[in-house]
Amino acid sequence: DVKVTQSSRYLVKRTGEKVFLECVQDMDHENMFWYRQDPGLGLRLIYFSYDVKMKEKGDIPEGYSVSREKKERFSLILESASTNQTSMYLCASSWGQRYNSPLHFGNGTRLTVT
Amino acid sequence: KQEVTQIPAALSVPEGENLVLNCSFTDSAIYNLQWFRQDPGKGLTSLLLIQSSQREQTSGRLNASLDKSSGRSTLYIAASQPGDSATYLCAVRGGATNKLIFGTGTLLAVQP
């Protein structure tokens, strides 16, 4: 079974802090994604990566950056956390060239910025 | 721009009932459609993936159908159980961006 692991289930940070959210997958997937989920807005794509050191902006990249130094790890960085970044963050992965492969999600990180 | 809609937003049924969840999308040029389940406070669990060339997929008590031309998919759950209570989301991949676009989900409650 595919395992996508997010390092923290709950995180509380202060406004202005730099925040790192880590995600690791164990299936050698090329594609990795970061979403945020908010009530009434659904899941929105922040950033994704098709390969090591590659990254592409999703629909709401402002205020975020990402890092993919190793194939199995995809990090989401909040450069200066703000209260409107309080949300559930979900990492996902899938096979690369196979556009028809399913997406596998981690359990999410509930981030609160105070 | 692809838009995905799920109606109803919430559904409550008695245990044992067969039920259908609906998903509609505006752009029929899709690669696939995926159904997910999400338990409260958790991530998404993939249930079924239907390729654009397929009409349906089955897994246990679940059956998902796809009608690309009308922009609709349904998830059929047979003999519902309280453990089926969760939010069900559909997502389509394809169109101009090839991204996965999610619906806002249907919250299902199965009453014992």
Q: Which residue of B has its CA nearest to A87?
A: B41
Beta strands in chain A, from DSSP E residues, in sequence order: 4-6, 10-13, 19-25, 31-38, 42-49, 56-57, 64-70, 73-78, 87-94, 104-105, 109-113
Q: Does A95 touch chain B (CB under 8 A)?
A: no
Residue with tokens 């997937």: A29
* Long-range pairs, B54-61, Cβ under 8 A, ≥24: none
- Span A98-107, average pLDDT: 81
Q: Tell me if chain A has a CB within 8 Å of the CB of B105.
A: yes
What pLDDT, in 10s, does the model give residues A59-74? Answer: 999 999 999 999 999 9
Q: What angle do CA A32, A63, A34 make, to 5 degrees?
A: 15
The B residues from 38 to 57 touching A (CB cutoff 8 Å) are 41-46, 49, 51
Summarised one tens digit per residue, pLDDT across range A1-30 is: 779 999 899 999 999 999 999 999 998 899
Task: Inspect the interface and report whether the beta carbons of B100 and A40 lie closer than 8 Å.
Answer: no
Q: Read off the pLDDT band of B1 (50, 70, 90).
A: confident
State whether residue A60 sits within 8 Å of chain B by CB: no
Q: How far apart are the first and last CA of chain B?
A: 41
